Chain A
Amino acid sequence: MTDRARTEVAGSGQGAAAGDGEPPALDQAFDGDSLFALRATVAAHGSRAGLSEGRTRDLVLAVHELAANAVRHGAGQGRLRLWTAPDRVRCEVIDDGADGDPAGAEAADAALWHVEPGHGLWLVRRIADEASVQSDPSGTVAAVSFRLGTTGPPAPFRLDRRAEGGCTILAVTGQLDLGSSGEFGAAVGDLIAATPGLRLILDMSALTWWDSSGLAALITAQQRISHDRSARMIVACLPGPLTERLHEAGLASQFTLADSTAAAVAALTSPG
C-alpha cells in the first residue's frame, strides 16, 4: 500500500483535497523527536500561504495534535503532507498503524482519535475549518484544512454600536482574530459593566472569519453575559459557513442564534 493510495482515500471525503493530483508543497516524515521541527515547518508554510498569525497558530496546533496522536497511539511515527491552494491550506497526517499489523492498526485507531471532550480530534474540530479521519486496515489518514481569506485587502476590523428597541447592537466587521479579539472582549466587558440588564445583539453580518482567539472571545463574551444573570446576548446574522463551523465545533448550543437583528430584538424584548 502506497501513501498515494491512502491520500486518495482521504481526498475522496468531504471538503475535497485542495491539492488533488498536485504534488504536496511539503512531504515530511516525523516521529516523537521531530515534532518541534514539524511545528516550525508547518508554521512557515502556513504563514507563507497567507494565513494570519492566529490562523497559523491554529494550523500548527491542529497538525501537532494529529501528529502527536500518530506518535503516541499509532505507529510511533508518520508522515505529513501539506498543500497550499488559492483558497485553503490542507494537511494530511498519515499514520501507518502498528507496523502493518491489521488487528493492531484497528486497535490503535480506536484509541487514536479520542473524541471525548478535551482530547485530540475534539480540539482539532474546534480550530480547523474542516477535519476528517479515514481509516482502513493499512492505516489512518487524518486531514485538516484551513480556509484562506478572500483575495484583496481584508476589511479592517471594526466595531459599531447602536441602540435598537432597548437592545444594544454591536456590529462586528472584518476578522475576529488574535489581533482584534482583545478589542472585542474589552468592548463587551465595558457594555456589561455600564449597562445593567444588558440586551446585547452581536450583528455578525460583516464578520469575515475567525481564528481560535476570535472564537474564544465569543465564548468568553457569552460566559460573562451568562455570569451576569441579568444580561442576555444573541448572535445575529452569523454567515452560513461560520454557523456551520459553530455546529461542527460542538459550540452552537452555547449561543442563542438569530437570522436577523430584528428577530433578535423581538426575542430579547418579548415578555417572559
Chain B
Amino acid sequence: MAVGADAQITDLTVDDHACLTFGEPEDLFDLTAAFVRDGLACGLKVVWVSDSAPQRATLELARRGIAVESALAAGQLAAAECEGRLLSGQEFGAGRAMDWLTAQMAACQQEGFPGLRVAVDMSWALRPVTGVEQLPEFEEGVAAALAGSTVSVLCQYDREGFDPVTLATVSAFHTRSVAAATYYADPMLRICRQYAPPGIRLAGEIDYQQAEPLTLALTEAIRFDGDITVNMTALAFIDGSCARMIVDAARGLAAGRTVVLQCHPGIEATFVLLGAGDMAGVKLVSEHDR
C-alpha cells in the first residue's frame, strides 16, 4: 500500500481532487455512496463513472440508502460507464478524457447546479487499454481544471490491482488521499468504518482477542449521530464475547437511536440467543443471500 490516507471521505470539499484507494468492492461501494450522498445533500450534481454497469452501480447506491430514483429523475445524479467518456473503443487519451470532464463541468453550470462531484473508477486502467501511459497526464489535467472551481473529483484506485509505483505517481496530483478507516486488518479479520449507512463493518472471523479494536470501532461509531449499522454480512464467525460487546454497545445508546445488526442467519442466531431480538434500539436484519 503505497498511498496513505489523510482524509475521510466525509471531509471532502469543493475543488478537491481526491485519490481513493479501496481494497474490496464493499469498500468502493460504501465510500462512493458516502461521496454521492454528501454531494446530493449539498445540492450538487453527482456523476459516477463506474467500472460496472450503470444499473449495478445505482443498485449498490440504493442499497446504501441513496434515493437513487428521485436523484436520477431530477438529473442530479448520473451513473455512466467508462466507454465513451474516458475511453473510446478501449483506447485512452488524456486530452479526450479532459474534454469529457470540462464538458461535464460546463453542463453542470448550465443546468444551474452550484457544483459538481465526479467519481471515477480507474479499474479500466488495469485492463489492456492503449494510451494507459497517459494516465498521469490526465490526473495532472484534472488537478489544473479543478483549482478554484466548485467541482471535486474522486479518483478510485483498486489498492490490490495497481502497482505501488503507479499509485505513488498519480497520488502526487491529488489534493487528498482517502481510504476507509481501518481499526484492524489481518488475513483473518478486518474491522473498518462504514460510511453509508454509517457504522462499522466486520469481515472474517472475530473472537475476544480482537475485543480492543472492536471496542474502539464501536465507540467511534456511537459518536456519529443517528442510527448505526454494524455490517457483519461478510463475517463467518463471532464468539459470544464479541457478540455481547456489540449488544452492550447497542444497549448503551440513547433512546431513539437504533443499532442495525446486519448479518447472515447463522450469526443472527447468536444475537437472538443473547436476547438482542426484543431489545429496544436493536434491529436485526438477516441477509439470506449472503
Contact status B265-A178, CB under 8 Å: yes
Chain B CB within 10 Å, residue with most, of A68, A123, A212, A216: A216
Bound: A165/B241 CA distance, A: 46
Does A54 make an interface contact (CB < 8 A)?
A: yes
Least CB distance from B250 to A in Å reads 13
Complex interface bits, A209-231 against B, C-beta within 8 A gives 1, otherwise 0: 00111011001100100110000
For B269, list chain A residues within 8 Å (CB): 54, 178, 181, 211-213, 215-216
Complex interface bits, A226-244 against B, C-beta within 8 A gives 1, otherwise 0: 1100000000000000000
Bound: A72/B278 CA distance, A: 30
Does A57 make an interface contact (CB < 8 A)?
A: yes
Complex interface bits, A96-122 against B, C-beta within 8 A gives 1, otherwise 0: 000000000000000000000111100
Does B226 make an interface contact (CB < 8 A)?
A: no
Q: Which of B34-42, B98-106, B190-198, B201-209 contacts A (4 or more CB under 8 A)?
A: B201-209
For A119, list chain B residues within 8 Å (CB): 240, 244
* Interchain CB contact (< 8 A) of A182 among B241, B272, B286: B286
Bound: A61/B207 CA distance, A: 10
Contact status B277-A220, CB under 8 Å: yes
Bound: A37/B274 CA distance, A: 25
Contact status A118-B265, CB under 8 Å: no
* Interchain CB contact (< 8 A) of A118 among B208, B209, B240, B286: B240
Least CB distance from A225 to B in Å reads 11
For A212, list chain B residues within 8 Å (CB): 266, 269-270, 273
Complex interface bits, A14-33 against B, C-beta within 8 A gives 1, otherwise 0: 00000000000000000010
Contact status B266-A68, CB under 8 Å: no
Does B16 make an interface contact (CB < 8 A)?
A: no
Known contacts A35-B207, A54-B266; decide if A123 and B272 are in contact (CB<8 Å): no
For B270, list chain A residues within 8 Å (CB): 61, 123, 212
Contact status A68-B241, CB under 8 Å: yes
Does B268 make an interface contact (CB < 8 A)?
A: yes
For A120, list chain B residues within 8 Å (CB): 240
Does A245 make an interface contact (CB < 8 A)?
A: no
Does A39 make an interface contact (CB < 8 A)?
A: yes
Complex interface bits, B236-280 against A, C-beta within 8 A gives 1, otherwise 0: 010111001001000000000000000001101110111101100
Contact status A220-B240, CB under 8 Å: no
Bound: A262/B149 CA distance, A: 76
Bound: A120/B277 CA distance, A: 19
Known contacts A72-B208, A212-B270, A219-B277; decide if A182 and B240 are in contact (CB<8 Å): no
Least CB distance from A219 to B in Å reads 5
Bound: A182/B264 CA distance, A: 10
Contact status A181-B265, CB under 8 Å: yes
Does B188 make an interface contact (CB < 8 A)?
A: yes
Q: Whose C-beta in chain B lies nearest to the C-beta of A114?
A: B240
Chain A CB within 10 Å, residue with most, of B247, B269, B288: B269
Does A64 make an interface contact (CB < 8 A)?
A: yes
Contact status A65-B244, CB under 8 Å: no
Does A89 make an interface contact (CB < 8 A)?
A: no
* Interchain CB contact (< 8 A) of A126 among B237, B273, B277: B273
Contact status A227-B273, CB under 8 Å: no
Contact status B278-A223, CB under 8 Å: yes
Does A70 make an interface contact (CB < 8 A)?
A: no
Contact status A39-B273, CB under 8 Å: no
Q: Whose C-beta in chain A lies nearest to the C-beta of B266?
A: A57
Bound: A182/B274 CA distance, A: 19
Known contacts A39-B237, A178-B265, A213-B266; decide if A68 and B208 are in contact (CB<8 Å): yes
List the 10 closest A-B pairs by CB distance, nearest first: A216-B272, A216-B269, A212-B269, A213-B269, A123-B240, A223-B278, A182-B288, A57-B266, A213-B265, A126-B273
A-B contact pairs, 10 of them (CB 8 A): A36-B205, A53-B266, A61-B237, A118-B247, A123-B240, A123-B273, A181-B265, A182-B265, A216-B268, A220-B277
Query: With A61-B237, A118-B244 given, can you name 6 additional A-B contacts, CB distance below 8 Å?
Result: A54-B266, A54-B269, A213-B266, A216-B277, A223-B278, A226-B278
